[in-house]
Amino acid sequence: MPAQIEPTFPTQAGQAATVAQRLLDLAKQAPEKVILRLLFNQAPDQPITYAELLQRSNGYAQALAGAGIQPGEVVILILQHGADLAYAFFGAILHGAIPSIMPFLTEKLSPEQYRRSLAALFEICAPAAVITYPEFESEVRQAISPHASIRTLLLSSQIAWPAEAAEITPTKGIQPADIVLLQHSSGTTGLQKGVALSHQAVFNQLESYSRALHLAPADVIVSWLPLYHDMGLIAGFLLPILSSIPLVLLSPFDWVRAPYRMLQAISQYQGTLAWLPNFAYNFCAQKIRPRDLEGVDLSSWRAVINCSEPMYYRSHQLFLERFAPYGFRASALATCYAMAENVFAVTQGGIDAPVTIDPVSQRGLLIDRLARPPQPGEDVISMLSVGRPIDNTRVRILDEHHHDLAERSLGEIALHSDCMLTGYYKRPDLTKKAFAGGWYLTGDLGYMADGEVYVTGRKKDLIIVGGKNVYPQDLEGLASEVAGIHPGRVAAFGVPNPDTGTEDVVIAAELEDQNLDPEDPAAQAIADEIRQRVTRGSDVVLRYVKLVRRGWLLKTSSGKVARSANREKYLSESDNFSL
């Protein structure tokens, strides 16, 4: 279990001890302040004041109370970008319930797969209520019907707005150590671990991270990030709203279709801070046309913070070269290492000084597990520092026995802070496994140099595509269902794509028929079926399938397919990719 650290922020004299009380205090101090501005495609921007946010959220709180939902019970929110999502989230908190935002069904997922994901979620976290739209009611009911814990399906159209003059008081008895929200990591298929966070942990993170960012009243945060992801929920939602920093929020779907809208919003509203996954740097640099940037001024932008997936020096340079003519400055390039288990930020770089670039030997990292200078003739990797740990967060680099490694040695990143998760919700087994001596084991690989942290990969073979977690075992299961593939002889892994700034997924699979040439049209038909099966059954659009003969895939000493070793073997034989 996490080691306890004395709280530092919300229990000080005069400070709110819960998120609900903080929102109430802010609404009393500045009721007419526009704290949230929602942007839509082909619709006017929607400004929301603190008074309106509180009053409309109270409508959801009263609806939950009227439905018999008790404080401490989980409420699942399946809502798209819009005011109802903000109101429902804070309404659940006002009532003392625990909100958890889940992705909305998109065209990328089949309804059947989406239903299975919801059913898995409901099975583990046993929510008491689900809030969604009337037009989505039938879809949700198909997933919730077997689950007796779900007593209420609230529809956004059913919410009655209390009178503005009505007195609003948060549910009594809620303590700083109580769980305030759940963050569920976004896997490819099905539910991943639910991260339970307390009021105290959230406040401690906001205090420490605000100092690292030098957050000031003049700041304006602009975000398109989905609120079911920790970067969107914390950096792009709770941080500004609970710190009285104006937030301009776009829909992630609108951003994908028209990424220039974020830059136009920064120019129009004098945005100063934004967070992006690495692929977005490439995406913006490549997709935004000059005609969409007419009159855009990015000189107010003091930090665009690279976070949530492996980051590349080239991506920063592409972004800088593309948008420098519009006032974007090199000093605004920043980095962050973050995870839901720490509420959000672990480190921050690029605020007080330019992001450190560490040129190291590629062979040194892959073979020697050491971030050393390159020798003559060796390939070089320009590693971007993710900065230094924020206040009250400590980082260590550990070997497989959880012993500290020397500086520049590659090992598992472990952390200890005052904003750690309470635990994985209803999974004490996973919570216990995640800690060693009070230190959280991240599963990420990296090294430290001169007090700064560098992240090099993932111990658990997690793939990150466009900021979304992809679990290889999920894809391997889908590929293994295809006729003609030898059962259990499939490996899924990620390879860097420097053109997109993110990773491409590769599936290597052994053919069942020993006599079938992998280049034969019949084998290629199997490869096409794997692509279709994976694309239909997950959020991954699979392009690269390598069919091989029996015995090609490398195994561990325990007989399991070795993903990292097969990744290296694939790269060594492929002309399509290079590190």
The tens digit of pLDDT for each residue in 23-52 reads 999 999 999 999 999 999 989 999 999 999
| DSSP output for 253-287 | HHHHH-THHHHHHHHHHT--EEEE-HHHHHHHHHH
| DSSP output for 284-298 | HHHH--GGGGTT---
Strand partners, 151: none
Instruction: For each of the domains in the chain, give its residue range(s) and CATH number, in order of start.
Output: 18-174 (3.40.50.12780), 198-394+445-460 (3.40.50.12780), 463-573 (3.30.300.30)
- Shortest CA distance to 19 belongs to which of 206, 160, 159? 206
pLDDT score, position 20: 97
> Which residues in the chain land under pLDDT 50?
1-14, 187-191, 557, 576-579
pLDDT score, position 488: 76
Task: Give the C-alpha separation, 384 to 334, whole Å.
Answer: 10
Helix (H) or strand (E) holding 557: none
SS3 category, 120 = helix
pLDDT score, position 55: 95
Strand partners, 46: 38
Q: Where are the alpha helices (DSSP H) in 409-511?
A: 428-433, 472-480
Task: Give the C-alpha separation, 305 to 346, whole Å.
Answer: 13
Q: What residue type is 481 in one-letter code?
A: E
pLDDT tens-digit readout, 240-280: 999 999 999 999 999 999 999 999 999 999 999 999 999 89
Q: Which two tokens stand for residue 457?
A: 């990969």
Helix (H) or strand (E) holding 194: strand 194-198
pTM for this model (two decimals): 0.85
pLDDT score, position 10: 46
Cβ–Cβ under 8 Å, residues 375 and 361: yes
CA 534, 537, 541 angle in degrees (round to 5)?
45
Q: What 8-state DSSP symbol labels residue 235?
A: I
> Among all chains, which residue has been given the structure tokens 């979620």?
121
Task: Give the C-alpha separation, 579 to 218, whole Å.
Answer: 41
Cβ–Cβ under 8 Å, residues 13 and 58: no
pLDDT score, position 59: 95
pLDDT score, position 175: 95
pLDDT score, position 169: 85
